[in-house]
Structure 1
Amino acid sequence: MLPEQETPLTGGNVAAGLVRVGDTVRRPVGYWTPAVHALLEHLWSVGFRGAPRPLGIDEKGREVLTYAEGEVPWPSHFDLLDPLDQLARVGRLVRELHDALSTFNPPLDAQWNVLMPADRDELIIHHDLAPWNLVIGDRWVFIDWDNAGPGSRLWDVAYAVHGFIPMSAHPEWQRADAGPRLRVFADAYGLDEQQRRELAPMLTARTWAMHDFLRDRAALGVEPWATHWRTGHGDAWRSDAEYTERHTGRWRRALLG
């Protein structure tokens, strides 16, 4: 029998060596892979279908995951998330994910690829819930779990809000309806009043954290972050953080009004 064809998968900012083989994705492994596979298998065991399922390691030493068929919204298909009911679906999916993660007990020897410390250690979270890591198809699936690790619900939500609203200073992405979209997301997730009060300032803190992470890694010459910094990613995160900070009152009113 002839081996199945490998089709390279492109478009990401970080990962390399991704290929599709039939209905699977093959990816390079890291020291964190066993922990991530345990997490993904847990999600499937409790009925959550918004993540890939791990299928082990192939003969070339690559991890094997189920392939998610569909479109990635960012940047060319963001119109898929323009309707408020679609945005609400993201908020509900994130809540379902966090509820499923809340029952996960990591293996005692779990090692996580932690790129930056979160606000607190509440549960294992994705750390990169964004429109570049969501596949919209028959199922909606969050991909790219390499940076999963300890964090909090609000740390994940704040990052998701940045991408899915989006909260951007860039003229092409800045939204006059950012406040109402934030409210829709928060309502769909089911944030309580205390969480809404905490989220308003965290939106800025989380965005600055991305800028500072890129700055610090670039100063050490660590790739691919040094290249990202050199090509303007740091400037973009700084502008978004300043924009988000200027409008903190607007976000508070949207969340609590």
Structure 2
Amino acid sequence: MKPLEGGRTAQIWRDGDTVIRPSGAWTPTVHRFLRHLRSRGFAGAPDPIEITGENQEVVSYVAGRVCEDLNDPFVGSERMLVSAARLLRDFHSASQGFLQRDREVQTWMLPPQERCEIICHGDYAPYNVATAEHEAVGIIDFDAAHPAPRLWDLAYSVYRWAPLSDPANPHVPFDLDEQLRRADIFCMAYGATAEERLQLPETICRRLQALVDFMLASASTGDETFVEDVNAGDARLYLSDIDYIGNHRDRLLKALC
């Protein structure tokens, strides 16, 4: 076995064609959801294999390069941006029906959001997308999956892929004009409606605030993962980005609408 880079250091391992990673109370629900995706013909997600008695899950390895650095021309290209938006759209289409068809008790790490339209991935960012031949081909890490409107997932995805973050922050490769252009391209490739585009700035801010609230609440209970994230300044960054998006709301709406 060898550890996989990124995410939780020394907690996620690849063993041949499988990946071994920590499980949670939500993992049985997520595995049923992954089987649902496969039954709908969506091949871009891992296959669930088993949940061990050692608080670990085993899923199939999703082949492809994963990289979160949008400075990398391979990941930050317009071709990659378009393919990522289309992959998200296909995933959303495949996720439909799970809430109605699954008859077992459902447990999610993140709280469901009204309207419970589909199952959102919850963290559709470059670091959770496998790529090949300059296109997005697969999605990994479904821990944050939860029921919500598709706009809830689209909002966070646009935030991550544009990315709508102050260029003064480290690792933000594009200025505001390019961010707005990329946000429009992502929405166009996804097939966002005029109404969804109109609601996007407010929804991004609500999504980020919900993330901050969850992080702080989890850290306060002693969850080591979120304690580390808060100490690293992630919550402060999200709050700063809420202000950044609010300050440029009119320009974002003009670019999108």
TM-score calculated relative to the size of structure 2:
0.87
1:179-223: CA deviation from partner (whole Å, max 9, x where unpaired):
111111111110111111122321222222222332333344433
- The one-letter code of the counterpart of 1:245 is G
- Once the two structures are overlaid, the 10-residue window that deviates more, 187-196 or 172-181, is 172-181
Paired residues of 2:201 and 2:245 also in contact (CA < 8 A):
no
**Structure 1 residues 60, 237: CA separation in 2 closer, same or farther (over 3 Å shift)?**
closer
Unpaired runs of at least 5, structure 1: 1-5
Paired residues of 2:18 and 2:60 also in contact (CA < 8 A):
yes
Deviation at 1:128, TM superposition (A): 0.9
Larger helix fraction of residues: 2
Deviation at 1:81, TM superposition (A): 3.1
Q: Secondary structure at the match of 2:198?
A: helix
Paired residues of 1:32 and 1:110 also in contact (CA < 8 A):
no
Task: Provide the residue aligned with 2:29 in structure 1.
Answer: 35
- The one-letter code of the counterpart of 2:138 is V
Paired residues of 2:161 and 2:183 also in contact (CA < 8 A):
no
Deviation at 1:134, TM superposition (A): 0.9
- Is 1:150 the counterpart of 2:147? The answer is yes
Q: Secondary structure at the match of 1:110?
A: coil
Q: Secondary structure at the match of 1:177?
A: helix
Task: Provide the residue aligned with 1:209 in structure 2.
Answer: 210
Unpaired runs of at least 5, structure 2: none
**Structure 1 residues 117, 32: CA separation in 2 closer, same or farther (over 3 Å shift)?**
closer
**Structure 1 residues 149, 241: CA separation in 2 closer, same or farther (over 3 Å shift)?**
same
Task: Provide the residue aligned with 2:96 in structure 1.
Answer: 102
Q: Secondary structure at the match of 1:65?
A: strand
For 1:28 and 1:109, how far apart are their aligned partners in 2?
A: 22
Q: Secondary structure at the match of 2:223?
A: coil
- Is 1:112 the counterpart of 2:107? The answer is yes
- The one-letter code of the counterpart of 2:155 is A
For 1:210 and 1:163, how far apart are their aligned partners in 2?
A: 13
Task: Provide the residue aligned with 2:189 in structure 1.
Answer: 188
- Is 1:224 the counterpart of 2:219? The answer is no
1:74-112: CA deviation from partner (whole Å, max 9, x where unpaired):
137742232222201111111110011113245222332
- Is 1:245 the counterpart of 2:232? The answer is no
Deviation at 1:160, TM superposition (A): 0.6
**Structure 1 residues 207, 128: CA separation in 2 closer, same or farther (over 3 Å shift)?**
same
RMSD: 2.3
Paired residues of 1:125 and 1:153 also in contact (CA < 8 A):
yes
- The one-letter code of the counterpart of 2:232 is T
- Is 1:21 the counterpart of 2:15? The answer is yes
For 2:93 and 2:9, how far apart are their aligned partners in 1?
A: 28
Task: Provide the residue aligned with 1:128 in structure 2.
Answer: 123
Paired residues of 2:112 and 2:146 also in contact (CA < 8 A):
no
Report sequence identity in percent: 35
- Is 1:236 the counterpart of 2:237? The answer is yes
Task: Provide the residue aligned with 1:3 in structure 2.
Answer: none
For 1:28 and 1:210, how far apart are their aligned partners in 2?
A: 21
**Structure 1 residues 147, 112: CA separation in 2 closer, same or farther (over 3 Å shift)?**
farther
**Structure 1 residues 236, 60: CA separation in 2 closer, same or farther (over 3 Å shift)?**
closer
Paired residues of 1:71 and 1:137 also in contact (CA < 8 A):
yes
TM-score calculated relative to the size of structure 1:
0.87
Q: Secondary structure at the match of 1:118?
A: coil
Paired residues of 1:130 and 1:164 also in contact (CA < 8 A):
yes
Q: Secondary structure at the match of 1:212?
A: helix
Paired residues of 1:38 and 1:106 also in contact (CA < 8 A):
no
What is the aligned residue count? 250
Moved over 6 A (4+): none
